[in-house]
Structure 1
Amino acid sequence: MSEQQFRYIVRLFGQDVDGSMKVPYALAMVKGIGYNTARGILLKIGIDKDKRLGELSDSELKKIEESFSDKSAKLIPAWMYNRRKDFDSGLDLHLVTSDLIFYVRNDIEREKKIRSWRGVRHIYGLKVRGQRTRTTGRAGTTVGVKRGRGAQPGAAPSSTPAPSSQSTTQTKK
């Protein structure tokens, strides 16, 4: 019986993942899979959550990848999917890696094209989800509040002489 070597880097969903991490945390490094989704999949497949990713066999890795095949994770309930009621197909999908990036980019472009509120906010590079913009989200260098000269800490008093109290009016003769 041959012992499989520990792999420090594992190719999973088309990207390299650290093999020294525990399996749920390593799966969470893949875009579109969170910790809870990873735990749910591992529970249904029957893989120990305390194992390291580098310890898994090729067949176990293949089971993990197949569980997310054809844009659906059939082993987890539909409420855990990351794309419910897709705009084009109306199906519940669970997308990972480049598929997720592609769909999100298409959603943003569609909103820009129809000039929705969110689309306009994306066009101008402003916050989209209702956050405040008065003090945060400023581009470029930090802009502070302008104050008067005397109110600034460390400002030296001005060196101009104060007006004298002597009157400059002419006296009558």
Structure 2
Amino acid sequence: MSEQQFRYIVRLFGQDVDGTMKAPYGLAMVKGIGYNTARAILMKLNIDKDKRLGELTDHELKKVEEMLASKRIEALPTWMFNRRKDLETGRDLHYVTSELVFLVRNDIEREKKTKSWRGVRHSLGLKVRGQRTRTTGRTGTTIGVKRSKAAQPQGGGQQSQQKK
């Protein structure tokens, strides 16, 4: 019986994750997987949630990757998926890493092309989800109030006269 060594860095979905973190928190470091989704996946696969990510065997890590690679996690409720009613397939799917980034970017470009309200807000660089813009979300250099000459302190003029 071979004892598996503890791994301080675990390779998941093409990225390095800290092996000293507990399994749900380590899985949550992957883009597209949150803490609750990670816990649900671990419960479905009967993996102890209190284990460190570096303590998981290669077989357990492979099961996690296979489950998420299928993009359809059977045990999860539909509200936990990050891509519900996909436009192309019409199914509820769950994407991770670069696939998720690519699809979100395509969604934004599609909204810009159709000139929807959200697309216009995205193209102008404004807030999209109904937040206030009067005082927050300002970008660029700060513009202050310009003081008049009478309001400026007179200390600089006195010092120059004393030096003469």
- DSSP 3-state at the match of 1:71: coil
Structure 1 stretches (4+) deviating beyond 2 angstroms? Answer: 141-144, 146-149, 155-158
- DSSP 3-state at the match of 1:17: strand
| Greater helix content | 2
Code of the residue aligned with 1:21 in structure 2: it is: M
| Structure 2 match to 1:94 | 94
- DSSP 3-state at the match of 2:61: helix
- DSSP 3-state at the match of 1:10: strand
Query: What RMSD in Å do the two structures reach over aligned CA positions?
Result: 2.0
Written as runs of structure 1 = structure 2, the 5 A alignment for 1:46-85 is 46-85=46-85
How far off is 1:141 after superposition? Answer: 2.2
- DSSP 3-state at the match of 2:100: helix
TM-score normalised over the length of structure 1: 0.82
Unaligned runs of 5+ in 2: 156-164
Bigger radius of gyration, 1 or 2? 1
Deviations 1:77-128 (A, max 9, x none): 2221111101222110111101110110010000000011110111111111
How far off is 1:70 after superposition? Answer: 2.4
Aligned residues: 155
- DSSP 3-state at the match of 1:102: helix
- DSSP 3-state at the match of 1:138: coil
| Structure 2 match to 1:170 | none
| Structure 1 match to 2:153 | 156
Q: Distance in 1 between matches of 2:65 and 2:74?
A: 12
Contact kept in structure 2, 1:67 and 1:75, CA below 8 Å: no
| 1:113 aligned onto 2:113 | yes
| Structure 2 match to 1:29 | 29
Q: Distance in 1 between matches of 2:78 and 2:37?
A: 11
How far off is 1:14 after superposition? Answer: 1.3
